[in-house]
Structure 1
Amino acid sequence: MGGLYVCVERVAVSSAPLISVIVPVYNAEKYLRHCVDSILAQSHTNLELILVDDGATDDSPQICDEYAARDPRVTVIHQDNGGIAKAQNTGLDAASGDYIAFADNDDILDRHNLEYLLHALETTGADMSKARWRQFGVSQIADVAQEAAWGADEPSKVTVFAHPLTAYQTVFCKSLRLLGDKLGRNTEARYFNEANWCRLYRRELWEGLRFPEGMYAQDVMVAGELYSRMDKVADIDVVLYYWLQSAESVTHKQRSTGFYHDNFTAGATNFRLCLEKGVRPGRSYYTVVGSVNEQTTASDCSLQENRDLHEQDKKELSDLLAKLTVPQRIQCAVTQKLRLAEKYVYDRKIKNMR
């Protein structure tokens, strides 16, 4: 389902829905102001910005407090360091908005991010709306901030699709998405990953659902359950979020056995959920196979406890793959190989942005 974006008359702030924007903050003093400024400058002004200081040791806590002192829409929560999942959960517990959004503390939102995402949700009745994003390097931050402040044009199309869990699991190879678009299938619109940013959620989706604390891949861990709660998703074809590529981020530098094991655990959880719901677990196949293979490259893989963990995960992987039909296994293996090739290109071009 698609359609042109319809411009509606702006309503008074008092009658506009309240959106809670949750930003976990940890040692982000170099980029935090760009992020916060982009949120407070949103064209949809009825928002509450919840900054969760997760025990930062730089000037981030003071920066958060400065914003709270001059803008009543900002709430700051200081807590001992517990990881991003704990910070996200703290934000969810404190949120009072009708809708929920997340942002990373070093990223930048287009000034129309919330407005366009909200419009897509309310006009289509979807459970979640999403937009496109673009990566950028540290050297581009001033230009990106200016572009975001100027604001994107209204989207030309809103696409609504059903079965979000199926889309999450099967539409993830970039080359296949490009091919689908060339064939007129609008495949890119059905693509989304486990990231929580550049999305707008109806509040009720998060009732009784929280991120698992104390592990990596917390977003992957909840993805299956979250998307299985949705009936339909709305996509708008415009870039509304700018994702900083920094060598300091966990996903770009963390290479411990624990990191790979947690990714395996999260992938396996989604794998089993898909089997229960009759969905081919293409993305989760890629995650579990890759995580087990990459455990052998971890800097601490020679420790006996990590060897034992690797053997345990290998056994579970074998059990999971045995549950696939032959056609499912072939399809999953093909997309996994294709995605590995794409990842090689991605790592060389995107993760090395400066």
Structure 2
Amino acid sequence: MNRAKSLVSVIVPVYNSEKYLRYCIDSILNQSYSNLEVILVDDGSTDNSPAICNQYASKDSRVTVIHQKNGGIAHAQNTGLANVHGRYIAFVDNDDILDCHNIEYLLSALERTGADMSKARWQQFGVSQLDYITTQAASGAREPSKITVFKNPLHAYQTVFCKTLRILGSTLGRNTEARYFNEANWCRLYKKEIWDGLRFEVGHYAQDIRMAGPLYARMNSVADIDVPLYFWLQEPDSVTHSKRSPSFWHDNVSAAATNFQFTLQQGIIPYRNFFGLVASVRDERRGLHLMGDKASAEDLSTCSLDEEVTKSLIKQLNLLDKLKCHLFYTIRRVENIVYDNRIHNMK
């Protein structure tokens, strides 16, 4: 394949990110692989983000800006997908930073292996580390020492998610870490055709979880490279870390339930979604309890229905699979306590 003809479309949903947006866009435009189409989808920002997007478009012909009314990240991602021209597609969150070799290494892995998606490792950082990470990203990661290709990514997504077990597997020489990935769309490079007929469900917080099953089920193989190429900002005010409401809790339950059922229909035990389902229902019930009288009758009724749906789905598992699910759940809960403490202390 002639790489000079391989246009890569990079989709960036933008919403009120004026503090970090320039860092993000600069890291994309400064990629070592330059044949890019950068689609900035301004989803009704109310700060200076639209003007920043326009400034970049006026200076670099590779940048396209689309302004639209606010409809949420799924709507913005769909707008980006509807306007891509590249052979390959990448997504970047508007406050994150790419290593300067991100696209080059991910594209090389795809072309060398013929996989449907390539992925790399990522690194979290706090706001105080912004300048340091920017310098590190511009310096560039080492070339990958290993490319691992694996089949049945939906199975890997559902089974390889506990950090403790990944470390154990890698210690035993099984290269388990290479098969780990989550439902996030960043730090990936996709063949464009993988997205044919697929669009995110608009109006949900957990749009990526809902997409995970249908997206991974249509892939034959995934290529992993063993270097960190994406820097994920841990911003306390982001939806991931700050959004807590009855609708948010219910949406997480609904997304996990949808993917749980889809995965079962594929003949795969949804270990990850078991954790997501049970943990989300638990968070929903606890959150409503803490709200006290502020929790409406409708919110309480929705929670009760979510609990019934959860029980109904778990009943579809046999005893051994239930025991495995509960074991993974316990391990992951402990890991999440450590993770949450780390993130909350990341400044």
**Normalising to structure 1: TM-score of the pair?**
0.95
Contact 1:24–1:51 (Cα < 8 Å) also in 2 = yes
The alignment status of 1:218 with 2:211, answered yes or no, reads no
Deviation at 1:352, TM superposition (A): 2.9
User: Which residue of 2 is the match for residue 269 of structure 1?
Assistant: 258
Q: Is residue 246–residue 351 contact of structure 1 (8 Å, CA) maintained in 2?
A: no
Q: How high is the sequence identity, in percent, across the aligned residues?
A: 59
Distance 1:198 1:275 in 2: 27
Aligned residues: 343
In the other structure, the counterpart of 2:234 is 245
2:196 is aligned with 1:204: no
The structure 1 residue matched to 2:331, chosen from 334, 338, 341, is 338
1:281 to partner: Cα distance = 0.5
2:85 is aligned to 96
In structure 2, what is the Cα distance between the partners aligned to 1:251 and 1:298?
16
By how many angstroms is 1:147 displaced? 0.6
Name the residue aligned to 2:25: 36
1:109 Cα deviation from its structure 2 partner: 0.0
**What does residue range 1-354 of structure 1 map to in structure 2 within 5 Å?**
15-298=4-287, 300=291, 302-354=295-347
CA distance in 1, matches of 2:344, 2:36: 32
Q: Distance in 2 between matches of 1:338 and 1:33?
A: 39
AA aligned to 2:334 is A
For residues 176 and 230 of structure 1, the distance between their equivalents in structure 2, rounded to whole angstroms, comes to: 24
What is the alpha-carbon distance in structure 1 between the residues aligned to residue 285 and residue 260 of structure 2?
22
CA–CA distance in structure 2, aligned partners of residues 192 and 213 of structure 1? 23
Deviation at 1:350, TM superposition (A): 2.3
After superposition, the CA RMSD in angstroms is 1.2
Q: Which residue of 2 aligns with 1:4?
A: none
Letter in 1 for 2:144: P
CA distance in 2: counterparts of 1:58 and 1:280, whole angstroms = 44
Structure 1 counterpart of 2:237, which letter?
E
Residue 191 (structure 1) shift = 0.1
Letter in 1 for 2:167: L
The CA deviation string for residues 229-260 of structure 1, in whole angstroms up to 9 with x for no partner, is 00100000001000000101101011111111
Per-residue CA deviations over 1:282-313 (Å, capped at 9, x if unaligned) read 00000111111111232657210000000111
CA-to-aligned-CA distance 1:127-161 (integer Å, 9 cap, x gap): 00000000000000001001101111100000000
